[in-house]
Structure 1
Amino acid sequence: MKVISVSSPLDLWTTVRSVGTFTVACSFAALWAFVKVLRALRWRLKTTQLRGPPRTSFIYGVSHDIVSSKDSGGMYERWTTEYGVAYMIPSVLGQTRIVLCDPRAIAHFYARETWTYVQTPLSLTLLETSVGRGLLWSQGEDHRRQRKALTPAFSNAAIRKLTSVFYDSAYKAKGAWDTAIESSKDGGAVIEVQNWMNYISLDTIGIAGFSHDFGSLDGKRASVTEVFDTFGNNQKASAGNQVLLLLASAFPIITKIPTKRIDLIKKLSAAMGEISDDLLIRSRREKDVNTSGRDEEKSIIGLLIKSEGQDAELHMSKEEVVAQMKVLLLAGYETTSISLTWALIELSRHLDVQTSLREELLAFGADPTYDHLKANFPYLDAVVHETLRLHPPVGEFTRVATQDDVIPLSEPVRTISGEMTDNISIGKGTLITISSAAINRSSVIWGLDAKEFKPDRWLTEDGISGKAKEVQGHRHLLTFVDGPRTCLGKDFAITEFKTVLSVLVKNFVFEMRDGPDTPVEIARGILPRPRVVGEDGIGVPLRVRRYE
């Protein structure tokens, strides 16, 4: 028997305390492991076990393969062909995700999103760090309340009034491009279009949403534009950062570790917060002076100020109000500029499409109104939606089930035990992934030409296959998702997209600088962005000349 030697009462107490602390720590560790095992067993009993690709990494499952892939949507589509419209993929540190690639299953999922299926702990942590507890972060009743408070600012009537703002931004860019072309010797100029689309989008959301001109199109440099640009130019993110983000899906606390990207996210949040505070203070003063205030209350910032009142029907805290402004700044800057850049790339690759679009626009003559843009330009509408189909700004998302559920399928799948089933049981805690890129570009859903940029598919009744019509999103796309979390700014974004594109295509001819076969890759900004291979940052240089 081992004898513990103690030379004094103090030594005795120290020994007892150290042994006690170790015992307590071991007990907590054992309890944590026991709870984890019980949850895993319950999940396995409650969840249909599906087939799927084998684990390629003991630590990452297949997550690293997806993140590093040049075409993650294509990976999901290939797995769908092999394993069916619902399958399981191994994820980080033993986690498993169910992937849905079936229109009926996805419709069921969307109908229950923000209640049964909610943001993952990692998503909540990153969203709170970057934009706060606003519309993107909130769930359930909080999400419904915040969304309802903002909805009037995105009505048809509100967007109709904002169309002139979209035109103003587009014509500012046109003026600068005219000057660049005039100073060139060959009647054309090489223009890095992605930065210009960024500036158009940022100035537009500033004026349309908050009556504030960032002045990016005039060459002004605000703190928020500098941080936005830093994201786009910071392409050499270390492998360590990628590893940390993958591991954070299992342990969100890892996001507290300071990395260059996390520091940038915090810096962006602080910059947007300062601007939001300044805009709110100024707008409150103006509201006090303005006695009518009816139009102002229907603007984005007007509705936010109105919701601050304690007696407001849809009251939002100051923290929530600032978070909404951050969300709108971020969304207004990122998504529309990415879509516009992709449209100019596709039109430069397909000069016949560019010519047809220009002919439609020129035949109309004057700048179209909001109502004309919605109803009188079928080819412009086709180009816009084909761009949104092929290049959704957000390619996939993952949610976690807060309760057990049963998801119906439009066609049966084979389980891991070999049985066929036309529905799958979902246990609480199950991770569900949907790839909008895979669904939008699926050959099974959209036809054999699904990977081609083909606006004509939107112009005939049989151009969209029957399977695509089963997808319950805007125009059968998942670009704006669906259900309670459908993008609130969808019509705002589409109208801005059409307005800017109509001005640019009527006045300029676009070509890839190095020919139509110039390779384009995905670069990492805040969201994935296009970049011409070999360019720095998010460079997309196009050869631009006036249309005569």
Structure 2
Amino acid sequence: MSLLQSKHWGRDVWLAFKDIFLVSSLPGSATRISVLVLASLYLLQIYRRKQRTTPIRGPRSPGWVFGFAKTVLDSTTTTELYERWASEYGPVYKVPGIFGQSKVILWDPKAISHFFARDTWLYNQVPFNKNVVRATLGRGVLWADGESHKRQRRALNPALSAAAIRNLTSVFHDAAHKTATAWDGEIESNQRTHCAVIDVQRWMNHISLDSAGIAVFSHDFGALDGNDSDVVHVLNAFGSSANFSNNLVILAQNFPSILKLPLPRTQFARKFRLIIGKICQELLSRTRKETETGGAAQGDKSCLGLLLKAEGSGESAGLTPQEVIDEARVLLLAGFETTAVTMTWALVELARNPDVQTKLRDECLEFGPTPSYDDLANKLPYLDAVANEVLRLHAPVKEIPRSATQEDVIPLSEPMRTAAGSFTESVCIPKGTVIVVPFAALNCSVSMWGPDAKTFKPSRWFEEDEGTRGAREALHGYRHLMTFGDGARMCPGRLFALTEFKAVLFVLVRTFVFEMADGPGVQIVEGLGMLPRPGVVGSAEAGSVPLRVRRYEF
């Protein structure tokens, strides 16, 4: 590629020579020579950077203002688009976004592994995401990068370890049994049909909130008992698509000041921070008082209790009291939203696939009444397969964007054709490039999961597909899925989420039979909320997922 073929070369040269002309008009030949030398070095640096940068192919923008930004927010088409673009333009390609800017999409497994090995260090969160996280959750582990992230993550890990979650498994069972009792009451009140149409989305929200409240804070929000608290209202509002505008989400990525407007989304974020902050402060005060008097605080197995003990013993690697509160916010919101969404999708898939539901029920009934943490992890293989398949098809986080803090050379699994027509085994990107790893699309890609990749098929977890195994195994996330991410930012609460998910599903599928309320042909789509929640097409109630539930008769 010649110097004049560089995309921004003409603009850079004009701006540089404009500055040279203004400065070189100053009196004194020495000044003029110095300016010319510095300017020449600057232009040479630009030229070399342009020469090193790999010209990447990608689709032509449909418009300068939004590009494909609106298109990729539509979760019904994004998976197919990303895969088609990878097939057409190569495993690393660029997608035009707002105001002519582009994002680089990674589809190549080796490139993705390289990226995750450098996440939080060479690749940082984009400013929009950092602003949203700070406004909602504070400066906790989801906000931090580099050394700050490493320190906070190290302090958080013991509270989410296998040993900690093992002590919390009974909390998840209790929430599921409380739900089963409530559903039994609704079914018994319909003696004519012996079934009830239940909004499982709402109940999964309640299970997740009460479980997270007890497990994270040792605080029962009482959602399963009908307590309509401020926390219930705020968290349900976060999941509602009614509080989101596609255009505002897109524009705010380039104009962060939009986030300061009194929009419903920002108001809910502010209210959430205040409410959870107050609960954390109350628990903090109570724990310190109990510790001083030798009370029950020593037996507190909650995540926040463990964090507070680590802070007090100096084992928290310098976690400040405010950071402890911010981590608690992260644990509550992440535990509520992601698990509620995933469990709702699980019940929908079981209702749409009665043969899978029957096979899962048979395994759970044969096992016994109350599996332990280790039983859920190792002794219920079909439950594990169903959970994995739900996580594969319905990843709560669809993609992650990161900004390169410096120039990087990304290796590829195989040579790729560039926009200049040559082939390369690596891609050089300049500082400031926005990189995107499309979690959901990779999880459903034919190249990694075979021709039936879009189909709900738990049996795939017992089969070996030699044709796609190599591509999958290059990804080192949980079960080679992107659902929990990978690298330094791999979801720290994955054991918490998996254990709750399996414990709740175990109890409910043993007890009830699930069917689509309006017949097997009803269409379920993903709505735009904080996370893409399922919803029934044409439903008058946004965010509602009604299923017909009846008691299983032995």
Query: Normalized against structure 1, the TM-score is what?
Result: 0.89
Letter in 2 for 1:545: R
Pick the aligned partner of 1:212 from 216, 219, 237. Answer: 219
Decide whether aligned partners of structure 1 residues 283 and 67 sit closer, same or farther in structure 2, where only a CA change above 3 A counts. Answer: same
2:360 paired with 1:330:
no
Alpha-carbon contact 1:509-1:547 (below 8 Å) kept: yes
Alpha-carbon contact 1:90-1:96 (below 8 Å) kept: yes
2:502 paired with 1:495:
no
Letter in 1 for 2:204: M
Decide whether aligned partners of structure 1 residues 522 and 480 sit closer, same or farther in structure 2, where only a CA change above 3 A counts. Answer: same
Q: Return the offset for 1:172.
A: 0.5
Decide whether aligned partners of structure 1 residues 101 and 236 sit closer, same or farther in structure 2, where only a CA change above 3 A counts. Answer: same
Q: Distance in 2 between matches of 1:437 and 1:457?
A: 18
Q: Which residue of 2 aligns with 1:372?
A: 375
Q: Return the offset for 1:510.
A: 0.2
Letter in 1 for 2:370: D
Q: Distance in 2 between matches of 1:227 and 1:305?
A: 26
Q: Which residue of 2 aligns with 1:542?
A: 547
2:508 paired with 1:504:
yes
Q: Which residue of 2 aligns with 1:189?
A: 196
Q: Which residue of 2 aligns with 1:253?
A: 257
Q: Distance in 2 between matches of 1:62 and 1:43?
A: 27
Letter in 2 for 1:186: T
Letter in 1 for 2:250: L
Q: Return the offset for 1:354.
A: 0.3
Total equivalences in the alignment = 512
Q: Distance in 1 between matches of 2:530 and 2:96?
A: 26
Could you give the per-residue CA deviations for residues 201-252 of structure 1, whole angstroms, max 9, x where no partner exists?
Answer: 1100111121110000000122111111223345264xxx432321222232
Q: Distance in 1 between matches of 2:406 and 2:172?
A: 44
Q: Return the offset for 1:440.
A: 0.2
Q: Distance in 1 between matches of 2:308 and 2:476?
A: 34
List gaps (5 residues or longer) in structure 1: 1-26
SS of 1:235's partner is helix
Q: Return the offset for 1:181.
A: 0.4
Alpha-carbon contact 2:169-2:499 (below 8 Å) kept: yes
SS of 2:510's partner is helix
List gaps (5 residues or longer) in structure 2: 1-18, 24-38
- Map 1:395-544; keep pairs closer than 5 Å: 395-462=398-465, 465-535=469-539, 536-544=541-549
Among all aligned residue pairs of Structure 1 and Structure 2, give the percentage whose two residues are the same amino acid.
Answer: 49
Could you give the per-residue CA deviations for residues 459-518 of structure 1, whole angstroms, max 9, x where no partner exists?
Answer: 134487332222211000000000111111101110111000000000000000111221
Q: Return the offset for 1:92.
A: 1.5
Mean Cα displacement is larger for which, 163-172 or 250-259? Answer: 250-259
Alpha-carbon contact 1:85-1:411 (below 8 Å) kept: no
Q: Which residue of 1 aligns with 2:208?
A: 201
Q: Distance in 1 between matches of 2:48 and 2:69?
A: 24
Alpha-carbon contact 1:114-1:139 (below 8 Å) kept: yes
Letter in 1 for 2:550: R
Could you give the per-residue CA deviations for residues 111-168 of structure 1, whole angstroms, max 9, x where no partner exists?
Answer: 1000001101111111100000001001111111111111111222211111111100
Pick the aligned partner of 1:347 from 342, 346, 350. Answer: 350
2:176 paired with 1:170:
yes
Alpha-carbon contact 1:93-1:250 (below 8 Å) kept: no
Q: Which residue of 1 aligns with 2:26?
A: none
SS of 2:144's partner is coil
Q: Return the offset for 1:303.
A: 2.9
Decide whether aligned partners of structure 1 residues 59 and 477 sit closer, same or farther in structure 2, where only a CA change above 3 A counts. Answer: same
SS of 1:49's partner is coil
SS of 2:167's partner is helix
Alpha-carbon contact 2:136-2:273 (below 8 Å) kept: yes
Pick the aligned partner of 2:392 from 383, 389, 392. Answer: 389
Alpha-carbon contact 1:532-1:540 (below 8 Å) kept: yes
Alpha-carbon contact 1:379-1:459 (below 8 Å) kept: no
Q: Return the offset for 1:293.
A: 5.4
Decide whether aligned partners of structure 1 residues 106 and 343 sit closer, same or farther in structure 2, where only a CA change above 3 A counts. Answer: same
- Map 1:354-365; keep pairs closer than 5 Å: 354-365=357-368
Q: Return the offset for 1:310.
A: 9.2
Q: Distance in 1 between matches of 2:473 and 2:314?
A: 44
Alpha-carbon contact 1:447-1:465 (below 8 Å) kept: no
- Map 1:38-437; keep pairs closer than 5 Å: 44-184=50-190, 185-233=192-240, 235=242, 237=244, 241-290=245-294, 295-296=299-300, 299-309=302-312, 311=314, 314-437=317-440
Decide whether aligned partners of structure 1 residues 307 and 375 sit closer, same or farther in structure 2, where only a CA change above 3 A counts. Answer: closer
Q: Distance in 2 between matches of 1:78 and 1:346?
A: 26
Q: Distance in 1 between matches of 2:198 and 2:325?
A: 35
Alpha-carbon contact 2:205-2:337 (below 8 Å) kept: yes
SS of 1:465's partner is helix
SS of 1:221's partner is coil
Decide whether aligned partners of structure 1 residues 45 and 261 sit closer, same or farther in structure 2, where only a CA change above 3 A counts. Answer: farther
Q: Distance in 1 between matches of 2:343 and 2:171?
A: 17
Q: Which residue of 2 aligns with 1:18?
A: none
Decide whether aligned partners of structure 1 residues 160 and 40 sit closer, same or farther in structure 2, where only a CA change above 3 A counts. Answer: farther
Q: Distance in 1 between matches of 2:232 and 2:375?
A: 33
SS of 1:202's partner is helix
Q: Return the offset for 1:43.
A: 6.4
Q: Return the offset for 1:260.
A: 2.3
Decide whether aligned partners of structure 1 residues 293 and 180 sit closer, same or farther in structure 2, where only a CA change above 3 A counts. Answer: closer
Q: Return the offset for 1:278.
A: 2.2
Decide whether aligned partners of structure 1 residues 43 and 94 sit closer, same or farther in structure 2, where only a CA change above 3 A counts. Answer: farther
Q: Return the offset for 1:307.
A: 4.6
Coordinate RMSD, CA, aligned: 2.3
Mean Cα displacement is larger for which, 456-465 or 408-417? Answer: 456-465
Q: Distance in 2 between matches of 1:528 and 1:292?
A: 40
Letter in 1 for 2:193: D
Q: Distance in 1 between matches of 2:47 and 2:304?
A: 49
SS of 1:515's partner is coil
- Map 1:12-31; keep pairs closer than 5 Å: none
Alpha-carbon contact 1:132-1:323 (below 8 Å) kept: yes
Alpha-carbon contact 2:75-2:526 (below 8 Å) kept: no
Q: Distance in 2 between matches of 1:432 and 1:206?
A: 35
Q: Distance in 2 between matches of 1:364 and 1:311?
A: 43
Alpha-carbon contact 1:520-1:533 (below 8 Å) kept: yes
Decide whether aligned partners of structure 1 residues 274 and 454 sit closer, same or farther in structure 2, where only a CA change above 3 A counts. Answer: same
SS of 1:316's partner is coil
Alpha-carbon contact 1:338-1:393 (below 8 Å) kept: yes
Letter in 2 for 1:393: P
Q: Which residue of 1 aligns with 2:32?
A: none
